[in-house]
């Protein structure tokens, strides 16, 4: 049996929600220059900080998890986060590969 990349992520999101957890979905929606993972790469984050999947080579995951948790806490629907060199967080995060990416986060309802 062949698995499509998000199979485990989507199944697990369903499981977490069944267990009364709040879950957010993060998706790479745009990339410029070199980026570690392609457009459409996904990750899920639960309100207690559990995550599965990936949106970069580990460069921005921590920030994305933080943003997902605050999105759920503040009962927001969605947010697009851009990671690039001119970003104020560049010193903190910065993509080691020098690429820019846009990540869209949304709560799964």
Kindly tell me which of 25 and 95 has the beta carbon lying closer to another protein.
Answer: 25
DSSP string, 23-90: EEEEEEEEEES--SS-TT-EEEEETTS-EEE-SSSSSSHHHHHHHHHHHHHTT--EEEEEE-TTSTTT
Q: Which x/- pattern over 87-106 shows residues binding another protein (rule: CB under 8 A)?
A: -----------------x-x
The 3-state DSSP class for residue 10 equals: helix
- What's the number of CA atoms in the CB half-sphere (13 Å) around residue 20? 0
Backbone angles phi, psi at 69, to 5 degrees: -65, -45
Kindly tell me which of 7 and 73 has the beta carbon lying closer to another protein.
Answer: 7
The residue from 13, 26, 59, 95 that contacts another protein (CB under 8 A) is 13
Nearest distance from C-beta of residue 22 to another protein, angstroms: 11
Nearest distance from C-beta of residue 60 to another protein, angstroms: 18
Our finding on whether 48 is near another protein (CB under 8 A) is no
Which residues in this chain contact another protein in the complex, by CB under 8 A? 1-7, 10-11, 13-14, 17, 25, 27, 29-30, 38-40, 77-78, 80, 104, 106-109
């Amino acid at each position: 049996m062949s698995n499509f990349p998000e199979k485990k992520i989507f199944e697990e999101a369903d499981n977490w929600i069944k267990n009364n957890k709040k879950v957010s979905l993060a998706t790479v929606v745009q990339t410029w220059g070199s980026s570690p993972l392609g457009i459409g790469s996904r990750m899920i984050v639960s309100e207690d900080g559990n995550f599965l999947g990936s949106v970069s080579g580990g460069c921005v995951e921590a920030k994305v998890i933080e943003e997902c948790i605050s999105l759920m806490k503040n009962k927001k629907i969605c947010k697009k986060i851009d990671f690039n060199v001119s970003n104020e967080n560049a010193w903190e995060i910065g993509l080691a590969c020098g690429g820019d990416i846009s990540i869209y986060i949304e709560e799964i309802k």
